[in-house]
Structure 1
């Protein structure tokens, strides 16, 4: 008689082809070698590399695959992402709830991909694991350069692309700023004066500008939403209605007498009067007694604006954690040897992943071992199949919650920023309950 674990293992083996696992291991080895190659260059750091890769992912989504066709179709050869962009895309897709929200309501061109382009990336790698070696007469490098103005190869880009474009939130002027050290323009002490309107572009101003730009877009297009409001916030209404209501309530908090948003310059002046940053002032306003928003949800609502990129997920932080996992896979020999893993090794990994999913179904939390993580991550790289399959198997939509997020008594997810000291169950291994 078969057991629930055996039945689930059999289903997973059908859902996650072995070739996907092996291709996944191949690219993890390539990402590890690429990251390690950064240390060979004086003055280069992993942190700056992760920042650049995230920015280049943004360009790839907005300029390379944004061809006005949101219908689902495979990536074309000319859209092969640079290897560092493939690495950042990998980390983005390993937070399925946030990836789903971004692809449905923010970057709809991502819906073109049924799954991560594993085979496409592996085919381009060839035998040199730290860069693409099969690009002779390939259309992707030139297509990338035409649409982004940057070098295609990650190392060439580190050497030659010394500036990036930032949009002034006050006058919409495109401003070139230099990468400075580990965090570039996202550093807390970043300061640049807009040559057109002369506003001081600081990290705080750029974050606030990003917030108001998102609010404007969501107000104009009811199909859009503010980050982290489509899935992570619970409510009585459907997703579209709930997101629209939240946008309207946030808008009311900053609406001027003429029915438009209060100017960023005026918000900056008000925050200076209260001796706080603009983002702190925004948080206070959203949490005021005049607002009907739940104060505990405000930190989650604003968390996506803490980093400098338009994705709901902080991909730079995700890359840091992914690098640790890549090193484990490397040390185990699974990403650096053609003889590992064997078919028996993979068979055992499927069984462990099945047991892990069943633990989650019962407990709602847990810590996977590295083999569980490998199968889990490979599963997540097929978003549609992952979402449907996991909900059917265990009624949980598995998604890592960032460290410091807490599950409070009312079931609302929030980021309190206090970690375990808040007295409520915190951790990075809690999971979202599947919604009907």
Structure 2
């Protein structure tokens, strides 16, 4: 049988039927990309111990390269040829984008809310249409043109190891006087920007301005004050900057402008956040935006307002948190404390995005290792007919997982590794993922890879029970063994065995019916793999 000899029939998700939402070529490209990420990690580890002296904070450098890519690209719209030839960044930068994408609620909001990140929506569309070409280009040697474009734009070497020797400082802005300051990323005192005890002094402090000591919390306070005070002129409220981080996304609408406007309007009622003259600023209604005016006038007004907020709250995010808590619309959202925590969590430093991308990259490392341990990132798996059967099986189970979520919208379900792989691949196509979620689930499904193990354990048991009730088959192997005790690189489909029964999917039989309930009984699709054990989950609150 030739894989994909015929188009598959439609798969059910709730009452709807759809062709597979994720293609096998996309999944294979994703696995190849994960393999490359794993090789990069080994290269960095080898360099740290032998060849090159890499700073101890090297893991944190990648976000800085990603930030440079964003600054370089924010006003560009690419076609695929231009992107591959000129603007595809080094693989370590793409790895940061990959980790950002796998936090889809934050990614979708950041792309819409932060102007310098808006170009990433175009990148996501290119990934949706040309993922295999992009991965192929990333895995091949970079062209001279691509290297020179990157080097000229960022003033950094294309090679990630070499870059750690060059990128040793960062520009920050003093929250008080707005002076540009250059600070080290690391130093012998442990007070560099990438180090836990970061602190710096503004050079204007010696001139009598008495600028307070600069640390991450005060940089975060300025970031929040800027978002609160940026209420410039626009043609429509959907372009109205800035909404507060964490308020635009809701489960039923990833771009809930009405809610975001309402929350910000209530917060601005606090005396701490009023205009420099003490007047309360009321946001215009969604259907009655202010029209564009002088940009320079708006910028000067915003800067004065920003500074007045910072001085009222003494450059403290704690005082900002207290003021916001008093004026949040506490009857608007039943999870008010959770919403406020989500907002404040997005203001931990001065970076434009709302999550810790360094931590996100490190968390993805554990998933990559597990894929490697299964042998799924190896060419021997990706090129084998049996490997394709396994991936088709995984696609089928992912759709069943979505069907389960449709029928239990208030439940908290945990994916197995094979389901999570397909889920991750789906999320990389951000616009399509958003459309598919709203069309088939009537809500946006977030992906949370920071769930406590205690909660995962109980949720996984509930998932197994719900799966058994829904599909009359086991969710996982009845007695799974440690992956390290097997040799999956040659025969990775062994991961998908129930006692005495091979469960690699007979795709021709799958084509004969789209009824998952019948299919699982007839083919013995036992439920594959292992619990994510701390990796990610799907649930009612986007968790």
Task: Mark yes or no: TM-score above 0.5.
Answer: yes
Q: 2: CA distance between counterparts of 1:54 and 1:94?
A: 15
Instruction: Name the structure 2 match of 1:42.
Output: 48
Match of 1:249 in 2: 266
**Contact between 2:248 and 2:257, CA under 8 Å: does it hold in 1?**
yes
Match of 1:84 in 2: 92
Shift of 1:372: 0.6
CA displacement at 1:328 relative to structure 2: 0.4
Deviations along 1:308-363, one digit per CA (max 9) or x if unpaired, are: 42112332222122111000011111113333462211121112212222222233
Instruction: Tell me the SS of whatever aligns to 2:62.
Output: helix
Show CA shifts across 1:409-434 (max 9, x none).
xxxxxxxxxxxxxxxxx995243579
1:101 aligned partner: 109
CA contact (8 A) 1:379 1:386 kept: yes
Q: Describe the superposition over 1:190-224 as per-residue Cα deviations: whole angstroms up to 9, x where unpaired.
A: 11112245632112211111211222335566523
Q: 1:172 to 1:141 in 2, by over 3 A?
A: farther
Q: After TM superposition, list the pairs within 5 Å mapping 1:53-68 onto structure 2.
A: 53-63=62-72, 65-67=73-75
Pair 1:159-2:165 in alignment: yes
SS at structure 2 position matched to 1:175 = strand
1:370 CA drift (Å):
0.9
Which of 382, 390, 395 does residue 429 from structure 2 map onto? 382
Q: 1:245: how far off? A: 2.8
CA shift, 1:403, in A, is 3.8
Question: Contact 2:121 / 2:430 at 8 angstroms: preserved in 1?
Answer: no
- Structure 1 residues 404, 8: closer, same or farther in 2, change over 3 A? closer
Residue of 19, 22, 33 corresponding to 2:25: 19
Deviation at 1:379, TM superposition (A): 0.8
Distance 2:418 2:397 in 1: 7
Matched-pair contact (CA < 8 Å) for 1:103–1:110: yes
Q: CA separation in 1, counterparts of 2:11 and 2:220?
A: 49
For 1:111, the equivalent position in structure 2 comes to 121
| Matching residue of 2:399 | 354
Stretch of structure 1 that moved more, 200-209 or 321-330: 200-209
Residue equivalent to 1:287: 325
The answer as to whether partners of 2:222 and 2:306 remain within 8 angstroms in 1 is no
Residue 165 of structure 1: SS of its match in structure 2?
strand
CA contact (8 A) 2:157 2:163 kept: yes
**Segment drifting more, 94-103 vs 249-258:** 249-258
Task: Give the direction of change, closer, same or farther, for the CA distance of 1:99–1:257 in structure 2 (3 Å limit).
Answer: closer
SS at match of 1:241: helix
After alignment, is 201-210 or 302-311 more displaced?
302-311
Segments of 5+ residues of structure 1 without an aligned counterpart are 127-132, 272-277, 406-425
User: Once the 2 structures are TM-superposed, how far is the Cα of residue 59 of structure 1 from its aligned partner?
Assistant: 1.8
What's the counterpart of residue 60 of structure 2? Answer: 51
TM-score (normalised: structure 2): 0.64
Deviating more after overlay: 188-197 vs 5-14: 5-14
CA distance in 2, matches of 1:108, 1:386: 17
1:321 corresponding residue in structure 2: 363
Alignment CA distance shift 1:97-1:293 (3 Å): same
Label 1:144 to 1:101 Cα distance change in 2 as closer, same or farther (>3 A): same
The number of residue pairs the alignment matches comes to 391
- How many angstroms apart in 1 are the aligned matches of 2:419 and 2:366? 15
2:447 matched to 1:400? yes
1:175–1:338 CA distance, 2 compared to 1 (3 A): farther
Helix, strand or coil at the partner of 1:373: helix
Question: Is residue 230 from structure 1 mapped to residue 248 from structure 2 by the alignment?
Answer: yes
Distance 2:150 2:246 in 1: 30
Q: How far has the Cα of 1:14 moved from its partner?
A: 4.0
Residue 263 of structure 1, CA deviation: 3.0
Q: Judge conservation of contact 1:98–1:313 (CA < 8 Å) in 2.
A: yes
Any idea what the Cα deviations from partners look like across 1:135-156, whole Å, max 9, x if unmatched? 233x222222222222222111
The answer to whether the 8 Å contact 2:29/2:132 transfers is yes
Q: 2 CA distance for matches of 1:320 and 1:427?
A: 12
What CA distance in whole angstroms lies between the structure 2 residues aligned with 1:329 and 1:61? 29
Distance 1:379 1:45, change over 3 A: farther
Of 130, 133, 146, which residue of structure 1 is paired with 2:152?
A: 146
* Match 2:181 to one of 166, 175, 178: 175
Q: Report the TM-score, using the length of structure 1 for normalisation.
A: 0.79
Gaps of at least 5 residues in structure 2 are: 1-8, 280-304, 331-335, 453-533
Report SS of the residue matched to 1:42.
helix
CA contact (8 A) 2:217 2:348 kept: no
Give the Å deviation of 1:108: 2.0
Let me know the Cα RMSD of the aligned residues.
3.4
Q: Does structure 1 conserve the Cα–Cα contact (< 8 Å) formed by 2:184 and 2:192?
A: yes
